[in-house]
Structure 1
Amino acid sequence: MKKHTLEVQSFVDSQRFSPYQWIILILCFLVVAADGFDTAAVGFVAPSLIGEWGITRAALGPVMSAALVGLGIGALAAGPAADRIGRKVVLVLSVFFFGAWSLASSQSGSIESLTAWRFLTGLGLGAAMPNAVTLMSEYAPARIRAIVVNAMFCGFSVGLTIGGLCAAWLIPEFGWQSVLITGGIGPLVLAVLLVALLPESAQFMVVRKWPAEKIARVLRRISNDPRLAHGAALNFIAADTHVATEKKSSLALIVSKPYSFGTAMLWLAYFTGLMIYYLLTNWLPTLFKDAGFTAQGAALTTSLFPLGGILGNLCLGWVMGRTNPRRANACAYVLSAALVLTIGCGVSDRFWLAVLIFLTGVAVTSAVTSMSALAAAFYPTQGRATGVAWMLGIGRMGAVAGALSGGVMMSLGLPFGAVFTLLAVPAFVAAFALFAFGRRNDATKEISLSEDVIVPME
């Protein structure tokens, strides 16, 4: 019996976004939301720790940085592991251990033990994020991949908001430990849902030569195409397997000649983008208070920054699906630079300052978030998880640099406007990196988030 050939990603690209793919999106959204919850929770328990343990604010520095360091290491390690043993396996394990370590951190009795548990929690989170991105990108049709991945990242802002609300209610009633317990139970329940409902990547199964019937069983949940009725009669292929050999490791692949320049530019753009994002996230309240805002006014104005990110993620994802995605992302960084320069020039009216902060959140957050969609589209199946994970891991170093550089600026007594003016530098660097990446990539091979692909059947 002659076997028909079906290229998996092209088949997914040709289908409508099915209810099953919505389930995958919701599950990955919840993984990202867990990251946002954790980010908010630690900040809100900090005042309680200072009062209960009698420690200084400076003593909490290692606790805050431990999770970021863990995030970076977890991301760097998780990518190669996922390209070897599977996206789902690594994602489930990372979410499970993130929850378990968060529960353990709630029992900490000293700053040293809390720091250690926060580092381990960061490892789990760092491993989860890139695999959620990779799995979602491989199940999203190319024409809407950018907006789907960006919508998934809206979970971070949602988790951030829920974390703050939960902390405001739980801490007065049950103590700071209750926030970390909640942040642990949620991921453990989510890990069970992932085991039950989340599929392995179809492209990964093809590359690792899983049985054809298993691949067809997953694809039948996306489409009732009659050609999938007899999976054993199909020869599944992944179109991008020709760019790599099984002997080459996934890490060696992403730094090999066809990908080395693009990898370097993605790392540079994401590093500088997270510098801006985390400097603003960590220091906006302080900047506003120094500028004469009340504590309440500073908090409310700061909240506009992540709120703008939700709108920005959806808008830029939509634009990237309809135009050159790299140029669209680069333009978002240019817009970010223009906005921070405008704020730096001085805006006396607080209403317009609030509007500019909201727009800055739209531009900066969407520019940073959309980098994951670019990376997922750039790398082939064999190195996709590693490529995304290492970009996220390198970017976490930019997050640390942003938080630290903000502290240096505060200690130097730089005025409000000067801090925002300086932020234009990394924004322009990120834009330059993406423009250079786009020109080099367009000159060699076309890798587009929005191209239409025909399903090869013979």
Structure 2
Amino acid sequence: MLPESKPLQLPQFVDERPVSPFQYVVIILCGLVMFLDGFDTQAISYMAPYIASEWNLPRQMLGPIFSSSLAGLMIGYLVLTPLSERFGHKKAIIVSTIVFSLCTLASVWANNVTELMILRFITGVGLGAAAPSAIAMTGEYSPKRFRATFVLAIYCGFSLGFIAAGLAANWFIPHFGWRSMFWIGALAPLMLIPVLIRFLPESMVFMIQRKVAAERILKIFRKIDPTIARQEKPTFIVDALEQGQGQRGALASLFTRDRVLGTVLLWLVFAINLGEFYALQSWLPSIMTGLNYPMSTVVMATTLTTVGGIAAAFITGPSMDRLGAYKTLGILYLVGFVCVALTGLAFKSPLWMLLIANFLAGCCISGGQKSLIALAAVFYPAPIRSTGVGWASDGSAGLLAPSWSAQPWVWAGHPRQFSMPWPCRC
């Protein structure tokens, strides 16, 4: 007869134990999903001038292609993300990865704008559904003391995917054509899918609430802490604060009396931060081109915004866990106010000063956007975390959608000589 033990309780079980190798595997897999999400999202921007050249398109015709992907992202965030609370985060991540990889693969054979728009729309739906579920899964398998750090770490995967897309485009497009980027963006996630099926677990909270067989749930608990004894009738408890979400829909739970103010403020700050990011990303190339900087310098300065956001994550993540999320973000935005102001003054200064100012502004603006994702993952409990993250991201996206489809181009007459402030969630 197996012994009976006291009930295993979430999230205390995860919070009270060291991070296990099993949890690191979960976080790495979610980070890889975010990396491929970022690669696929940004790759189309580097292909755009080559598509226009091959298909003899006026540049304004590329706007609908970008907008269709953006519309798909919104649908993924708003409509599909809440479904992950009903069917499970693992299923949501795997299905959405299959969707965006297959549609990206089908884009290889697109022959006109209409076909590419449809495929990019469906691709965007998959991309939009994958990220919030990956963030929610990371948050659930992370101890509270490291949650912001780990969420920021996987969100940096998205930015690294953006950078990798640029490096890949620089090599593959001149040698193999623009369709090679679709091949890479499709085959890499297709190779990851079997790994996700084999090694990515389901949400523990979801399994407990859906009354999955106790032996299956205990198996995951024992992967986190192998010292737990096998039990004849294991029992599990989800914190009452989180368990109560099951009484209402995930979306409605964002607006309960004790949460509505925080949700509204989170959406507002998301929108302001994203507006700052796009203002910086959109106008910097135009201003620097007007000041007669070479294109290589313009691209480098624009990329520093993203690099700064990645660098900031190494500071803001641990700070949010140790000093508090709200205090850290408050300080970050105060510093950001100064850095953005210095960027404006630095246009009349030597180039090295402008690049440093732009990097620091990116630390605060791009880094602030990542930190807000981490804040949402900390603010919302596990049963509604993916919905909270998805709707917060899309609330800001919806406010700024018109500006995304009207980004100015800086064109130098040849498909390889261009800079475009592409839509970016970096």
TM over 0.5: yes
Structure 2 counterparts to residues 240-279 of structure 1, below 5 A = 240-241=240-241, 244=244, 246-279=246-279
Helix, strand or coil at the partner of 1:234: coil
**Which residue identity lines up with residue 359 of structure 1 in the other structure?**
L
Structure 2 counterparts to residues 37-436 of structure 1, below 5 A = 37-225=39-227, 228-241=228-241, 244=244, 246-347=246-347, 348-403=349-404, 407=408
Task: Report the CA distance between 1:371 and its aligned residue.
Answer: 1.5
Helix, strand or coil at the partner of 2:236: strand
**Which residue identity lines up with residue 392 of structure 1 in the other structure?**
S
| Partner Cα separation in structure 2 for residue 369 and residue 132 of structure 1 | 14
Query: Structure 2 vs 1, CA of residues 272 and 398 (structure 1 numbering), >3 Å: closer, same or farther?
Result: farther
| Partner Cα separation in structure 2 for residue 49 and residue 11 of structure 1 | 52
**Which residue identity lines up with residue 362 of structure 2 in the other structure?**
G
**Which residue identity lines up with residue 386 of structure 2 in the other structure?**
A
Q: TM-score, normalised by structure 2?
A: 0.90
Query: Structure 2 vs 1, CA of residues 275 and 231 (structure 1 numbering), >3 Å: closer, same or farther?
Result: farther
| Percent identical | 34
| Partner Cα separation in structure 2 for residue 286 and residue 250 of structure 1 | 42
| Partner Cα separation in structure 2 for residue 241 and residue 205 of structure 1 | 17
Task: Report the CA distance between 1:336 and its aligned residue.
Answer: 1.9
Contact 1:72–1:392 (Cα < 8 Å) also in 2: no
Task: Report the CA distance between 1:316 and its aligned residue.
Answer: 0.4
Q: TM-score, normalised by structure 1?
A: 0.84
Query: Structure 2 vs 1, CA of residues 305 and 242 (structure 1 numbering), >3 Å: closer, same or farther?
Result: closer
**Which residue identity lines up with residue 271 of structure 1 in the other structure?**
A
| Partner Cα separation in structure 1 for residue 288 and residue 240 of structure 2 | 49
Give the aligned partner of residue 6 of structure 1: 8
Task: Report the CA distance between 1:289 and its aligned residue.
Answer: 0.9
Contact 1:99–1:187 (Cα < 8 Å) also in 2: yes
Give the aligned partner of residue 422 of structure 2: none
Deviates more, 1:397-406 or 1:354-363: 397-406
| Partner Cα separation in structure 2 for residue 350 and residue 399 of structure 1 | 30
| Unaligned stretches of 5+ residues in structure 2 | 410-426
Task: Report the CA distance between 1:406 and its aligned residue.
Answer: 5.8
Q: Deviations over 1:62-112 (max 9, x none)?
A: 111211221111011222111111110111100110100111112111111
Task: Report the CA distance between 1:236 and its aligned residue.
Answer: 0.8
| Unaligned stretches of 5+ residues in structure 1 | 409-458
| Partner Cα separation in structure 2 for residue 64 and residue 316 of structure 1 | 31
The alignment of Structure 1 onto Structure 2 pairs a total of residues equal to: 406
Deviates more, 1:122-131 or 1:316-325: 316-325
| Partner Cα separation in structure 2 for residue 60 and residue 187 of structure 1 | 25
Contact 1:207–1:241 (Cα < 8 Å) also in 2: no
Task: Report the CA distance between 1:328 and its aligned residue.
Answer: 1.1
Task: Report the CA distance between 1:7 and its aligned residue.
Answer: 0.9
Contact 1:207–1:382 (Cα < 8 Å) also in 2: no
**Which residue identity lines up with residue 375 of structure 1 in the other structure?**
A
Q: Deviations over 1:303-359 (max 9, x none)?
A: 211111111112100110111212212322232222112222344121111001111
Query: Structure 2 vs 1, CA of residues 278 and 107 (structure 1 numbering), >3 Å: closer, same or farther?
Result: farther
Task: Report the CA distance between 1:401 and its aligned residue.
Answer: 4.7
Q: Deviations over 1:37-82 (max 9, x none)?
A: 1233111111111110111111100111211221111011222111
Helix, strand or coil at the partner of 1:237: strand
Contact 2:136–2:382 (Cα < 8 Å) also in 1: no
**Which residue identity lines up with residue 277 of structure 1 in the other structure?**
F
Contact 1:244–1:253 (Cα < 8 Å) also in 2: no
Q: Deviations over 1:109-164 (max 9, x none)?
A: 11111111111111000000000000000001111111111111111221112111
Helix, strand or coil at the partner of 1:7: strand
Helix, strand or coil at the partner of 1:258: coil
Q: What is the aligned-residue RMSD (CA, Å)?
A: 1.9
| Partner Cα separation in structure 2 for residue 393 and residue 267 of structure 1 | 9
| Partner Cα separation in structure 2 for residue 148 and residue 67 of structure 1 | 28
| Partner Cα separation in structure 2 for residue 182 and residue 86 of structure 1 | 28
Helix, strand or coil at the partner of 2:19: coil
Query: Structure 2 vs 1, CA of residues 231 and 60 (structure 1 numbering), >3 Å: closer, same or farther?
Result: farther
Task: Report the CA distance between 1:276 and its aligned residue.
Answer: 2.1
Deviates more, 1:44-53 or 1:371-380: 371-380
| Partner Cα separation in structure 2 for residue 198 and residue 243 of structure 1 | 23
